[in-house]
Amino acid sequence: MGSSIQNPFLQIVEHPDGTVTRPYVPESLPNPKDAAVLSKDLTLNPSHGTYVRIYLPADAKSKGQKLPVVLFLHGGGFVLFSPKDATYHASCEVMATSVQALVISASYRLAPETRLPGAYYDAVEALSWVQSQAANLATADPWLSTHGNFSKVFMMGSSSGGNIVYQAAVRAKSMDLSPIRLSGVIINQPYFGGIERSKSEEGSENDPLVPLHSNDMLWRLTLPIGADRDHEFANPMKTTGLAEAVGLGRCMVLGLIGDPLYDRQKAFADMLEQKGVDVVKRFDDTGFHAIELFVPPKAEALFREVREFVYGA
């Protein structure tokens, strides 16, 4: 990963009263009108302080193209970051151009101020917002009404965002989403946990991004009070509610050899497959957790897979 990359999870300070002090994270403003990828922020739920940042490739705007819609949920162990984070902002720019999609990066309430399932509810609310835009084109944001192909809507999440989109997609199964169509769910290096250490977690005390100390801390800050890491929010493979996966729709799950969470990600994808989900599994490459944020060739490879999944649906 390189010594130049600072691990923000090691900089979280826990306080005895259950609050945390987060490290400073550089943020980016929406892009100017002459940028290759246009972006802007729209309010989602004022009472929760949630919003979305939309990314539209400028060439698609100039040509009047309609693009698949990718609703994206960022990572950060449920505790850090937002769509304004400079690293995720840059990643979403690359995603919009590489995938050729209208990307909607949604914020969600962070733990420990809002523990799970709060982030799941926020993700479902973001999906409902996309539905409301499609249902009311006359009052919808013009980027979405003009350039959004609502018959090809995808949810995508990385790390904790991957956990969130899985839980949100499960909840969306019981919703009438018309006139949009949820065409697929993309779960990149999802953040799952468990009491018993997996083989890939063993020996990860000094992992550059998710060392065991940070891993345990994030779950402690995130799960409902009194819950352990075998709670269904952390460990869907341990629960009796695996029937939730049935009827989930088309999914892609990606993991990298070298990520301490690899074993859990692969077991999750296998569980989906066993439940009859149409799942595309990508687990042959090597790297570390969230590598696409730091290594451009890995980002290109990820978004190539995403593009193939989106346009092959």
State the catalytic residues: 159, 259, 289
Q: Which distant-in-sequence residues (6+ apart) come within 8 Å of 303 by Cβ? A: 94, 95, 98, 99, 292
Strand intervals (E) in 218-297: 251-254, 279-282
Q: Do 73 and 165 form a contact (C-beta atoms < 8 A)? A: yes
Phi-psi region of 220 (alpha: psi -120 to 50; beta: other; left: phi over 0): alpha
Angle at which helix 296-312 crosses helix 86-99, to 10 degrees, equals 50
Torsion angle (degrees, nearest 10) of CA 257, 258, 259, 265? 20
Q: What's the Cα-to-Cα distance from 182 to each of 69, 149, 150, 287, rounded to whole Å?
A: 10, 11, 8, 30
| Amino acid in the structure at residue 206 | N
Give the number of residues written for the chain: 313
